[in-house]
Amino acid sequence: MAYRGGFGRPASRLAATAGAIVPASIIAGIIGTACLMVGMMGAALFTGGFGSFSIDALLAMLVFTGALIAVGSIGGTFMVAFYLVIFGLPVALLLGEHIRTPAGLLAAMATGLAAAYAAMRWLWGMTWASGEPVWNGEAFVVLCFVLPAAWFYRKQVIAMLDELPA
């Protein structure tokens, strides 16, 4: 017997692709923030940033890191949802059933990288106090969020399309 979706299933393709934004952005926000924190901790570890801290300072840093992950996950979720509405939703609607193919995965990743490039070009216009352009940090930040967002949004759209009535 074929699977029949429940009461909360989407009624149209637009509802299915739009309904996939929230879970994908939450997952990508959490993964992006965790990836970013691991990268920053790794950079601090390799540059010797932890050598001069006392135990009290390290414990305070762990508490601050936990709070930063919580706030960053919420902010990352909203940022990812914004870009998924602008870039991901139209591409998912245009791809239709082709989103299930490897070419659909390629299109999702390419669209995510194009969105990252657009965001980074906007951020590259900003400078540090020294006047130097900021690009390494922003590229790392954006890619920590973009690649999981593209992957999980595609997966969520496929799951939501499976819920559509036949």
Q: What is the pLDDT of residues 5-48, one digit of tens each?
A: 555 666 777 888 888 888 999 999 899 888 888 888 887 778 77
Q: Residue 42 contacts by C-beta under 8 Å, 6 or more apart in sequence?
A: none
Torsion angle (degrees, nearest 10) of CA 102, 105, 107, 110:
-130
DSSP tag of 133: B
pTM above 0.95, yes or no: no
